Chains A and B, each alone.
Chain A
């Protein structure tokens, strides 16, 4: 009973001792920066994967469509952690080059594998999101463009894509928020991001509760920033009188 009460006692709640210690603050900020870097690069790369994949799914080549379809289905229906392990432990062990000292060196760093793996995972979702956005553009609007003499490419560039991006916005936002949350998996392959440095600090200083709270609020803060950015973007794209 004591331990339950102890656990619920609120005095530790805003005890951000991590910020008072110079050394720990430095580590925490380095972790925060790593998480920010990993998240930003993953978002950008996953958007590229999404756009290219969605374009490939609209291609005439059946082989290409089927390949992209398999990629999307596989990455969407397997655990991101196992994907990460697959890249880091399986592919990473084989992809090695001989370094200057004659010893085998990994070709891609931990950070690199986290970036590749998470971007492919989120990118597979983005392919699906963009594809359904493109499919949601009314056939009649495309037909009107055709009747005005637009080529297939022009219709895509000037009519379908601008509308599809707007239709996809909310699903895309959810997925990107998920992606930022998923960057914590990089902990498992020792990328020194926020969770990793937090675990280091709490195992040294034994301040698990305080660190945990700092960690949770840090992520809620990071996600809030992303949501704000996405919201601004959505607002900038809003068309008067169209949609909700």
Chain B
């Protein structure tokens, strides 16, 4: 089946996932349209990180289906490279390659994985670093950058693959409060450019500001979702209300 932009770019249907005897996802479904920004919130251990790792096939699922641009992610015949070109991912711990400079970190995958021309990639990589406001840090090694700067390099690194969807897994959770803002600004810029973003986050203010929809997960199921205005003001489920009252 071919995918058209009026269909969901990411479609998750009744996904179940367990680690050994522990069931982490117990029937999750959600649709994300192109250009949408979706935030997933919830208490720790509610399965939100696992969910977005499944979208990128970093984790397997036991049953259900996840499609990206109409293609089943957990089809054993799937070309993982094709999927990963479409879906970029940014991790909580940045996970930069410590033996490469910021610029090399951004350039490496397009050159080695996509076999693109080095000169073209370099032009694009420099532009991306500029876009994430890291001009002048091209030749610094990850160990010489602050957490916020490393996280922005990681975002640029993912963008260099020209993804259609970006996944953010608690990208500000490991950062100092001062540097959280610079990363959030970068993500906001991205969202404003029309990038489809799925974020797992604890930044409620940020979620309310940029999300088209907010999902609340608890114990492996989606309890409730809606546009931020209604979600934050008029949550229906008592679990959501309790969580929000603790966090806000």
Report A's interface with B, CB cutoff 8 A: 138, 140-141, 143-151, 154, 158-159, 162-163, 166, 239-243
In the complex, what residues of A have CB within 8 A of residue B143's CB?
239-243
Which 3 A-B residue pairs are closest in the complex by CB-CB distance?
A241-B143, A144-B95, A149-B84
In whole angstroms, what is the CA distance A140 to B84 when docked? 16
In the complex, what residues of B have CB within 8 A of residue A163's CB?
97-99
Complex partner residue of A149 from B113, B140, B145, CB under 8 angstroms: B113
Known: A141-B98, A147-B91, A151-B81. 20 other contacts (CB 8 A): A140-B93, A141-B97, A143-B95, A144-B95, A145-B97, A147-B84, A148-B84, A149-B80, A149-B161, A150-B109, A158-B108, A159-B97, A163-B97, A239-B98, A241-B141, A241-B145, A242-B98, A242-B99, A242-B142, A242-B143
23 residue pairs from A and B, CB less than 8 Å apart = A140-B93, A141-B97, A144-B89, A144-B91, A144-B96, A144-B97, A145-B109, A147-B56, A148-B109, A148-B158, A149-B113, A150-B109, A150-B112, A151-B113, A159-B97, A166-B99, A239-B99, A240-B140, A240-B143, A240-B144, A241-B142, A242-B142, A242-B143
Chain B residue, CB-CB nearest to A241: B143
Contact (Cβ within 8 A) B99 A140: no
In the complex, what residues of B have CB within 8 A of residue A162's CB?
99
Q: Mark B40-72, 1 if CB is under 8 A from A, else 0.
A: 000000000000000010100000000000000
Contact (Cβ within 8 A) A239 B84: no
How far apart are B105's CB and chain A's nearest CB, in angstroms? Answer: 10
Given A163-B99, A239-B141, is A143 in contact with B58 using a C-beta cutoff of 8 Å? yes
How far apart are A202's CB and chain B's nearest CB, in angstroms? Answer: 50
In the complex, what residues of A have CB within 8 A of residue B98's CB?
141, 163, 239, 242
In the complex, what residues of B have CB within 8 A of residue A154's CB?
112-113
In whole angstroms, what is the CA distance A243 to B99 when docked? 11
Given A239-B99, A240-B144, is A158 in contact with B112 using a C-beta cutoff of 8 Å? yes
In the complex, what residues of A have CB within 8 A of residue B99's CB?
162-163, 166, 239, 242
In whole angstroms, what is the CA distance A147 to B58 when docked? 7
- The count of chain B contact residues (Cβ–Cβ below 8 Å) is 30
Given A240-B143, A241-B144, is A149 in contact with B81 using a C-beta cutoff of 8 Å? yes
Chain B residue, CB-CB nearest to A142: B95
In whole angstroms, what is the CA distance A211 to B88 when docked? 68
In the complex, what residues of B have CB within 8 A of residue A159's CB?
97
Chain A residue, CB-CB nearest to B95: A144
Is B85 an interface residue, CB under 8 A from the partner?
Answer: yes
The CB with the most chain B CB atoms within 10 A, among A141, A143, A148, A158, is that of: A148
In the complex, what residues of A have CB within 8 A of residue B56's CB?
147
Chain B residue, CB-CB nearest to A154: B112
Interface residues of B in 181-233 (CB under 8 A from A): none
Is B157 an interface residue, CB under 8 A from the partner?
Answer: yes
In whole angstroms, what is the CA distance A241 to B93 when docked? 16
How far apart are B228's CB and chain A's nearest CB, in angstroms? Answer: 28
Q: Mark B131-152, 1 if CB is under 8 A from A, else 0.
A: 0000000001111110000000
In whole angstroms, what is the CA distance A163 to B141 when docked? 14
